[in-house]
Amino acid sequence: MTADLIIVVCGLIFADSIIFGSVLGIDTALLFTDKPRRALVFGASVIIIATLSDIITYPLYNYILSPASGAYDIAYLRTALFIAVSAGLTYGISIILKRFYTPLYGEIKGCTYYLYSNGAILGILITYSDRNIGYGMSVLYSFLSAVAALFAMILFADIRSRIASEKQPAAFRGVPSVLLAAGLAAMAFSCVILL
């Protein structure tokens, strides 16, 4: 059981990484990895929203929306439902933080717009809603995928801070070097699949 769990966790961190493997979350990962602290705050937010969203959306999709449920055949509402739930949670949590934990709200304030409809969160919800792996496993996989995303983001934030401190040719300074570094990181993550 423990060995299986280790294999699953390694698979989610490297082979199925939503940042550099399936690249579902690379959009926001590139924006929020300019500083390690921003990467940590954004990654932690993704873990909370993705896990809570999956707790709500998995039963709604599999027992009501999906044709396999036998209740209704309204699976086309899936995208809207997932975005609405994750955005509603983000909004609710940001309101609670604003009222009761102002310093923490100050940390996530800059990224709330990018959390309302986020590729990494929606990608996780869609991926595990389709896999028929059971409610508990779906929530666990969503949590682990988001943790893997946090790991990849912190790793890449460190790479970016090292690149920024090095002297680079004028043409590659800034965004080009970030994209090339992301390409090399994606290549490194793909090599783990081959191993």
- Residues binding another protein (CB under 8 A): 20, 23-28, 30-31, 34-35, 38, 76-80, 82-84, 87, 91, 110, 113-114, 116-119, 122-123, 126-127, 164-165, 167-168, 170-180, 182-184, 186-187, 190
**How many Cα atoms sit within 13 Å of 39 on the Cβ side?**
25
CB of 70 to another protein, least distance (A): 21
Q: How far apart are CA 70 and CA 111, in angstroms?
A: 39
Closest CB 18 distance from another protein, rounded Å: 10
CB 6, min distance to another protein, A: 25
Distance CA 175, CA 11 (A): 29
3 vs 194, beta carbon nearer another protein: 194
Instruction: Please state at what angle helix 119-129 crosses helix 135-165, rounded to 10 degrees.
Output: 150
Smallest distance, another protein to C-beta of residue 167, A? 7
Pick between residue 3 and residue 80 the one whose CB is nearest to another protein: 80
Helices (H), 26-77: 26-31, 36-60
CB atoms within 10 A of CB 116: 17
DSSP 16: T
Closest approach of Cβ 150 to another protein, in Å? 18
Nearest distance from residue 136's CB to another protein, in Å? 23
Give the C-alpha separation, 81 to 77, whole Å.
Answer: 6
Residues 6+ apart with CB under 8 A from 178: 30, 160, 163
Residue with smaller CB distance to another protein, 3 or 195: 195
Identify the DSSP state of 171. G
Contact 105, 17 (CB under 8 A): no
Whichever of 34 and 139 has its CB closer to another protein, that residue is: 34
For another protein, which is the closer residue by CB, 26 or 93?
26
Which C-beta is closer to another protein: that of 6 or that of 180?
180
